[in-house]
């Protein structure tokens, strides 16, 4: 197997395991690792992340639909629809005309997103208002369109809500399912679902299935909070590397 393809499949397996356990982070792990290693172009990676995430989410959400916080989900989805399309268009423009800016945005997104997620937010006393859910959906949708990874925004927002952890995880997964499906449709309409994208996604299917089974059969021997902080600490280091490379490419 080609070394780049093998490395990508390993990243998919790691991301799938963490997302099954913690409810998010798969997209960030694949996107950050593949970009830091220079495996493939960013639009290709983001398209594959969307396809692979759909499969992981379908398995992870199965049997937990009743836990979804439906009122909040509706407003998150309303905000995501226009923002995802805008993010996909912006990604294509930056990739074609300002690649360094795009990599700089990705590095900053990873560092800031991981920093926010490493600090578990303090739950509010009351549920946020509908406009707040709408705003979170807009912000998360833009990041989903750009990088196929809305976890930092939506994860931070939902973990602040006075909901049970099971409700938060199910709602996050349902939100990701919608955003990844919509993003895939938009990318497909623009001709972005190339042979390379489908090939990478096809090789990743086994890794997703294995990671979901592994996470359910052998959960991590460390507390979930420790797993999350470890994963995001490593992602932060890679994000800093990507950001530094964008700011001073001649040094890397």
Distance CA 195, CA 166 (A): 38
Tell me the angle at which helices 42-61 and 99-118 cross, rounded to the nearest 10 degrees: 30
End-to-end CA distance of the chain: 27
In tens, the pLDDT along 151-206 reads 778 888 888 889 888 898 899 889 988 888 899 999 998 888 999 999 999 988 88
Which of 90-94, 131-135, 237-241 shows the highest mean pLDDT?
131-135
> Per-residue pLDDT for 123 more than 80?
no
Q: What percent of the chain has pLDDT over 70?
A: 93
23: confidence class by pLDDT, cuts 50, 70, 90: low
Distance CA 79, CA 73 (A): 10
pLDDT at 117: 67
Q: What is the mean pLDDT of residues 205-232?
A: 81
Distance CA 51, CA 38 (A): 20
pLDDT at 219: 83
Q: Which of 25, 4, 1 is nearest to 14 (CA)?
A: 25
Q: Which of 2, 8, 4, 3 is nearest to 208 (CA)?
A: 8
**Which SS3 state, helix, strand or coil, does residue 237 take?**
helix
Q: Are residues 159 and 168 in contact, defined by beta-carbon separation less than 8 angstroms? A: yes
Q: Among 73-82, 131-140, 160-169, name the one with the lowest average pLDDT.
A: 160-169
Mean pLDDT score of the chain, rounded to an integer? Answer: 84
Q: What is the mean pLDDT of residues 66-89?
A: 91
Higher-confidence residue of 139 and 59: namely: 139
Distance CA 246, CA 252 (A): 9
- Put simply, whether the predicted model's pTM sits higher than 0.85 gets the answer no
Which residues contact residue 63 at a Cβ distance below 8 angstroms, ignoring those fewer than 6 apart? none
Distance CA 209, CA 52 (A): 10
């Amino acid at each position: 197997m080609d070394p780049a393809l093998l490395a990508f499949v390993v990243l998919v397996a790691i991301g799938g395991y963490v997302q099954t356990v913690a409810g998010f982070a798969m997209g960030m792990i694949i996107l950050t690792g593949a970009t830091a290693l220079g495996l493939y172009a960013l639009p290709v990676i983001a398209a594959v992340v969307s396809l692979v995430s759909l499969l992981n989410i379908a398995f992870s959400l199965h049997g937990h639909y009743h836990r979804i916080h439906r009122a909040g989900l509706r407003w998150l989805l309303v905000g995501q629809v226009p923002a995802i399309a805008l993010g996909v268009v912006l990604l294509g423009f930056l990739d074609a005309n300002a690649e360094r800016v795009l990599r700089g945005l990705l590095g900053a997104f990873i560092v800031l997103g991981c920093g926010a997620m490493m600090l578990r937010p303090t739950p509010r006393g009351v549920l946020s208002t509908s406009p707040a859910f709408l705003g979170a959906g807009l912000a998360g949708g833009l990041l989903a369109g750009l990088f196929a990874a809305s976890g930092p925004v939506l994860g931070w927002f939902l973990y602040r809500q006075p909901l049970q952890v099971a409700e938060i995880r199910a709602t996050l997964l349902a939100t990701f399912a919608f955003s990844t499906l919509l993003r895939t449709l938009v990318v497909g309409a623009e001709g972005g679902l190339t042979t390379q994208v489908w090939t990478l996604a096809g090789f990743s299917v086994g890794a997703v299935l294995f990671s979901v089974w592994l996470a359910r059969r052998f959960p991590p021997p460390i507390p979930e909070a420790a797993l999350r902080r470890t994963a995001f600490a490593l992602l932060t280091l890679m994000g800093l590397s990507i950001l530094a490379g964008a700011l001073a490419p001649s040094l890397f």
